[in-house]
Structure formats: structure tokens, C-alpha cells
Amino acid sequence: MLKSDFPERVKARVYLAARGALRGRRLCLLCPRPGFATRVHVPVEALRLADPVLDHVRVYWLCVKCAELEPEDPQIVEALQGTAKPQGKRQGEGKEAEAQRYEQGTTP
């Protein structure tokens, strides 16, 4: 991607994301497990030649199991768009509590 013919602003943002300068929470995007693999999401709007929108270029983590999924997998796409249903989450519980339950071996 960095050697391609995209605008310099896009390449700079992707480079920063890949080097860890744009940070996200180190929990899996899809489940409450700790993050293992880092990926960078670059939406189509960021690839426009005229006025690219870089706000939604983001870094996300996946656990060992979820890292086997392709980036175009519907679960990942829904989670990045914010339309995914939380998995393994008890009502009123945040991701930190889910991760703590996972570490203690008490996940559903």
C-alpha cells in the first residue's frame, strides 16, 4: 500500500497506523479476548484522489482465533461499521470486565 499510487496523506496515515502511532484498545474487535494481531482498516473514502477522508483509518486488534478471519469477513466489516452485535457480553458489562473473565477462565 505504501508503494502504491495513493495520495501522500493516505500513505502517511497508513504508515503511522502500521507503526503503532494510531492506537486502539488491545482487545479483540469481535470477542472479549486479549488482542494478538493488529490490522489497519482503510475505508474507500480514504482512497479518493480528491479530498480523501482519513478520519476512519483505524487500527484494530484480533485475538488468535479471530485473526484467522479474512479482513473482508462480514463479522469484521460489521464490527468496524459499528453494526455488530456484541458477542460473549453480559448486559451492562464492558470489554474490560469481559477480558478479566476470559483471563480467569470464566467466559461463556
91 pLDDT above the threshold of 50: no
- Predicted model pTM: 0.58
Q: Using the predicted structure, report yes or no on whether residue 1 has a pLDDT greater than 90.
A: no
| Section 45-52 average pLDDT | 81
36-71 b/e (C-beta count within 10 Å ≥ 16 → b): eebbbbbeeebeeeeebeeeebbbbbbbeebeeeee
Average pLDDT over residues 57-75: 89
Q: Which of 62, 73, 65 minimizes the C-alpha distance to 40?
A: 62
Task: Give the CB-side neighbour count of residue 12, counting CA atoms within 13 A.
Answer: 6
Q: Where are the domains of the chain?
A: 8-103
